[in-house]
Amino acid sequence: MSHNSFGHLLRMTTWGESHGPALGCVVDGVPPRLALSEEHIQPYLDARRPGQSRFTTQRREPDRVRILSGVYEGLTTGTPVQLLIENTDQRSKDYAAIAETYRPGHADLTYDAKYGLRDPRGGGRSSARETAARVAAGAVARAVLGDRVTIRAGVVELGGIAIDPARLDWAATGDNPFFSPDPGVVDAWAGAVDAARERGDSLGAIVQVEASGVAPGWGAPLYAKLDAELASAMMSINAVKGVEIGTGFEAARLTGIENADEMDPGPDGRPRFRSNHAGGILGGIATGADVVVRFAVKPTSSITTPRASVTRSGTATEVVTRGRHDPCVGIRAVPVGEAMMALVLADQMLLHRAQCGDG
């Protein structure tokens, strides 16, 4: 019952702080004889890596992953896979001021309330830097899933500007610095981010993650339902404030007639859905249709505009957060959302196999 673990059978435990010597994770329950090496993991870390465009933080971390255990001669052995990423760009600076003040929107106040102390360097454990470990673990989860499942993700709304669903093209996400599946919004988003930064402000975003090839039957009712697991997975990402499946909140505004995903017999005799309001999940179990999740990322809390706050000792103050910060943390949340999707699905695949066989 580790609080820093995720998953039931494929179980990741992350560790590390933003400015400690290293961070990483141990992934337990990996099936044996899967091909795995640093080369399988590194590309996902590279996608998440900061400093790749002017729209993300300028912290420069190579984020090189090392596999310390669980792999022998290029194959997983069934024993725990420890992944380690060194922190290299730890600017020496004086954290005394931050240590004494609670920045609005940050976990400063709450870590202090919980633990009676905190590591103030770069947010410590509450830093988004922890998500590097998730992305690395997500690559292991992909090895577990194999080729049957394809995961796609992108930003579908930024600063209130949504993509045009009719122009959604997942292949486009690699061609712009926003992971946008609609190239038509890229200029508007770039302008919005630049303007926000200029006025000492930041922007929020909505990320969509989809998976196709999910086998009907994956999901573990009632309290490890596929949708409940995804909700927990995505909500555990820094700055996420909402999660929805399929049509999501809008489904509450449809009527039962409209929301019904009618079915026809498919060519294989299996039902085929005319629509996918359900987002590929009914009763917590996958239908076989694409699994569709969206999550809302609040605007970065670290802004250069002064905000009213309070010191540890209880006096009023103003806070300005300088330093290297993402103007929109939602952008780099895309590979993290993909990783969490992979982790949930691989875990459910193993759970399903355990109870119901491979059938």
Q: Which of residues 181-210 bind a second copy (CB under 8 A)?
A: 196, 200-206
Q: Which positions from 36 through 65 interact with a second copy, judged by CB under 8 A?
A: none
279 binds a second copy (CB under 8 A): yes
Q: Which of 29, 177, 183, 213 binds a second copy (CB under 8 A)?
A: 29
Q: How far apart are CA 214 and CA 210, in angstroms?
A: 10
Give the contact letters, 146-185, x = binds to a second copy (CB under 8 A), - = no. -----------x-xx-------------------------
- CB of 332: closest distance to a second copy in angstroms? 15
Q: How far apart are CA 343 and CA 10, in angstroms?
A: 7
Q: How far apart are CA 242 and CA 239, in angstroms?
A: 9
| CA-closest candidate to residue 45, choices 64, 67, 30 | 64
Query: Applying CB under 8 A, which part among 39-47, 52-60, 170-178, 268-276 lies near a second copy?
Result: 268-276
- CB of 97: closest distance to a second copy in angstroms? 16
Query: Applying CB under 8 A, which part among 40-48, 50-58, 100-108, 172-180 lies near a second copy?
Result: 100-108
For residues 49 and 277, which CB has a smaller minimum distance to a second copy in the complex?
A: 277
Quickly count: other Cβ atoms within 10 Å of residue 175's Cβ. Answer: 11
Q: Which of 78, 177, 183, 213 binds a second copy (CB under 8 A)?
A: 78
For residues 161 and 175, which CB has a smaller minimum distance to a second copy in the complex?
A: 161
333 binds a second copy (CB under 8 A): no
The token pair that represents 277 in the structure block: 């309001």
For residues 35 and 175, which CB has a smaller minimum distance to a second copy in the complex?
A: 35
Altogether, the residues listed in the chain come to a count of 359
Half-sphere CA count of 146, side-chain side, radius 13 A = 10
Q: Which of 64, 89, 177, 307 binds a second copy (CB under 8 A)?
A: 307
Residue pair 156/293 in contact (Cβ under 8 Å)? The answer is no
Q: Which of 37, 51, 91, 115 binds a second copy (CB under 8 A)?
A: 115
Quickly count: other Cβ atoms within 10 Å of residue 330's Cβ. Answer: 30
Q: How far apart are CA 359 and CA 347, in angstroms?
A: 17
Q: How far apart are CA 302 and CA 138, in angstroms?
A: 27
For residues 58 and 69, which CB has a smaller minimum distance to a second copy in the complex?
A: 69
97 binds a second copy (CB under 8 A): no
Q: How far apart are CA 101 and CA 202, in angstroms?
A: 21
251 binds a second copy (CB under 8 A): yes
Q: How far apart are CA 91 and CA 58, in angstroms?
A: 12
